[in-house]
Amino acid sequence: MRSLLFVPADDAKKQKKALDSATDAIILDMEDSVAAGNKLKARSSVVDFFSHLTTDKIIIIRINALDTEFWQDDMVAILPLAPDYILIPKARSGADVATINGLIKANVKAASKTRIIALVTELPESMFNISSFKNSGEALAGLTWGAEDLSAELGAQNNKDADGVYFPVYQMARSFCLLGAAHAGVAAIDSVFTNFKDDAGLRAEAERAKTEGFQGKMLIHPCQIAIVNAVFSPSEAEISHARQVIAAIENSTSGGVAQLDGEMIDQPHYKRALNLIKGVN
């Protein structure tokens, strides 16, 4: 998944627009995008959305956090729908993933399809529990992070400086997400870029995320889709180079070490190349 677009779970008009867009995945948001008084409406709207669903897009549902009164009713409503993914917000540790994983396993329809993405940096306690997400449930497929809720928890006035660069604590949260995903053996997905009118800033942040190892990015507006899809789509040059790396290593007579264009390459290069080609095929 290159692009994951947030859409309010109670807004059918925006949902239709998302379905008509080029986003890879739609996140039906039952949490922050929905007022407390509209939670019931959001659940019924999601059920209606699935009853008319004719798309090959990936559908993700963000439930309410597990420390709220809403999440259990959310799960009762959405498990029979067997969405592609459930996004757990404010995941405190692997225990939250295990809870949702258990409910998925108990539903015959969801158990064969539904996987989990966990938002793992929105609470300070989550930062100290990053390693616990490994082996927290076979349905776990990705970790992502967020700076907005974390900044609110910290009482911060902002999470970026005047140049649009995240303050160190949020850079740390981002790094922890990336490290935690690698530790758990799941995909790392970058957070949203909130200024949807700043195309240059979005592109720069997405390119950095791709370079560092993130495999996609969450979005808040359809106008961000084209840039993110372009950034996270391997270029012909990248694909060609990856194939050359694979060929060089597999044909090497030096125990998994080879030379390519005057550079020494080994197993980490080989693994990155395999992952890139796997994502293309």
pTM strictly above 0.85: yes
d(CA 66, CA 90): 8
Among candidate residues 10, 13, 41, 40, the one with its CA nearest the CA of residue 28: 10
Q: pLDDT at position 256, please?
A: 77
Q: pLDDT at position 257, please?
A: 86
d(CA 198, CA 193): 9
Per-residue pLDDT of the chain (281 residues; tens, 9 = 90+): 999 999 999 999 999 999 999 999 999 999 999 999 999 999 999 999 999 898 889 999 999 999 999 999 999 999 999 999 999 999 999 999 999 999 999 999 999 999 999 999 999 999 999 999 999 999 999 999 999 999 999 999 999 999 999 999 999 999 999 999 999 999 999 999 999 999 999 999 999 999 999 999 999 999 999 999 999 998 778 788 778 888 888 888 777 788 888 788 888 778 878 877 776 66
Q: pLDDT at position 281, please?
A: 61
- What stretch of H or E contains 278? helix 267-280
d(CA 166, CA 172): 9
For 253, counting Cβ atoms within 10 Å of its Cβ (0-12 exposed, 13-18 middle, 19+ buried), the class is exposed
Structural domains of the chain ordered from first start: 3-231 (3.20.20.60), 236-280 (no CATH)
Give the residue carrying structure tokens 């012909």: 236
Q: pLDDT at position 269, please?
A: 79
Q: pLDDT at position 68, please?
A: 97
d(CA 156, CA 22): 35
Residues in the chain, how many?
281
